[in-house]
Chain A
């Protein structure tokens, strides 16, 4: 089946640091990639949708200057949490879709802890 690799799986860093999370589709071309945030014991909240070669579309309430998304190729999207603070600590999950009726495939998530 389709595989999406997300890296790193866990990161701990100091407040004020910028953190980059990578999402790769390993065996298919992902025309669209999605970034979700999940708080403990809660559902996934869509943060943004990115299409290869164009600007990401952010959901209401998500700061685009805080969460920078780059989708430079059909197999790679990155999420950079800039100047991270403790309230940014969360579980971030990416997914990739090949378009049409093909379902999204999810990465294993990144647990971000800001001290």
Chain B
């Protein structure tokens, strides 16, 4: 069975540009969450989507947005990129919308903003 898949794996963008990251959850999982991990820190929660609805948002600016599609895949969009947006972006999928269960992560997208 395929795990969580993310694309692309690496990306280099220029300040001010826009980026779209994609995620396909584990088959049967309806919840997708996005996390940002900068060097030396643990992953930080950005968004959670369940059944195409936003269920949670972390402390990130409005330049960050996301959506979930009918097949439960998801996109994370970041506008007006800043150097500080350089990070590993992780997607996690889980069966339920709430906790108390495991979340499984993809391999991540390494975004570098120059």
Is B one of A's binding partners?
A: no
Taking beta carbons and an 8 Å cutoff, which residues of A are in contact with B? Answer: none
